[in-house]
Amino acid sequence: MGKLKTNQDKKIESLKIKIGDFDLAVPGTLRTIYSKCGKDYCACQTDKKARHGPYILWDRKVDGKLSSKMVSKEMAAQIKKWIENRNKLEKQVQEILILSQSIVSNLVEESRNLDGEKM
């Protein structure tokens, strides 16, 4: 079991290093919309192909409420990377949690075996 524990510890250390290498990480999604303006005489009112846009929105929750901000194409490309970073970060944290739980479970079992207890 010592070797397994060592491999798990190495994996956790590797994940910690990867987490430290992250740039910004943000929640949310990006979406593109086309919209109507408020002018009654504009073609966008009756023709979907004449709607204004594309406009790129970054959606995320702030204080439990959906919040959207309009962003440029350049900023959208950067935000997309940061959203991907968030997803990778969450995956790595989840891996650490799973490995940690396994290590602690093994330590509890070892402790019980040393104390002469059995499950």
Give the tens place of pLDDT for each residue, 63-93: 999 999 999 999 999 999 999 999 999 998 9
Residue with token string 């979406």: 31
Q: Quote the pLDDT of residue 1.
A: 46
Domain boundaries, the chain: 2-115
- Answer yes or no: pTM beyond 0.75: no
Q: What is the pLDDT of residues 26-66, one digit of tens each?
A: 999 999 999 999 999 999 999 999 999 999 999 999 999 99
CB 50, CB 41: distance < 8 Å: no
Q: Quote the pLDDT of residue 4.
A: 55
Q: Edge-to-edge strand order for the sheet containing 65-71?
A: 29-35, 52-62, 65-71
